[in-house]
Amino acid sequence: MSLIYFKILGVEAKGVDATSDFTTDAYEFCYSHDWSVSLNELGLVGGPPTYTVEVSNNNTKWYDWDVLSTNAAIQDSVDAPYMSFKYMRIVYSANGTSSGTVDVELDTLNDIPSKR
């Protein structure tokens, strides 16, 4: 297993202000992986915030991964036994959250290196 933090403007998405919407930088996969995405929250008030896993083959045109990963509740993790796209990013919606932070994590279930 390999835990990776998505990045926002090149900075690890740890302790990100949960009161504002954000989109992570694209994460580039070199190989297909078993993967999971989770958002760990601390001190959330209001909301409820949601997130969407988006994928792309060219880092320009983005698609929702699937119906279960579109506007997912922050307490839900999204996973799959493969990655058929080259890029992934997370779109977070605060939905009225008034305080708190989130960490945006990607866990790959094998240790094949990836590009960043």
- pLDDT per position as a tens digit, 61-73: 999 999 989 999 9
Query: Among 56, 88, 95, which Cα is nearest to 72's?
Result: 95
> If you classify domain 2-108 with CATH, what class do you get?
mainly beta
Angle at 109 between CA 52 and CA 88, to 5 degrees: 30
Measured distance CA(26)–CA(47) in Å, rounded: 25
Q: What is the pLDDT of residue 96?
A: 94
Measured distance CA(96)–CA(100) in Å, rounded: 12
What are the sequence ranges of the domains in the chain? 2-108
pTM equals 0.90
How high does pLDDT run on average in the chain? Answer: 91
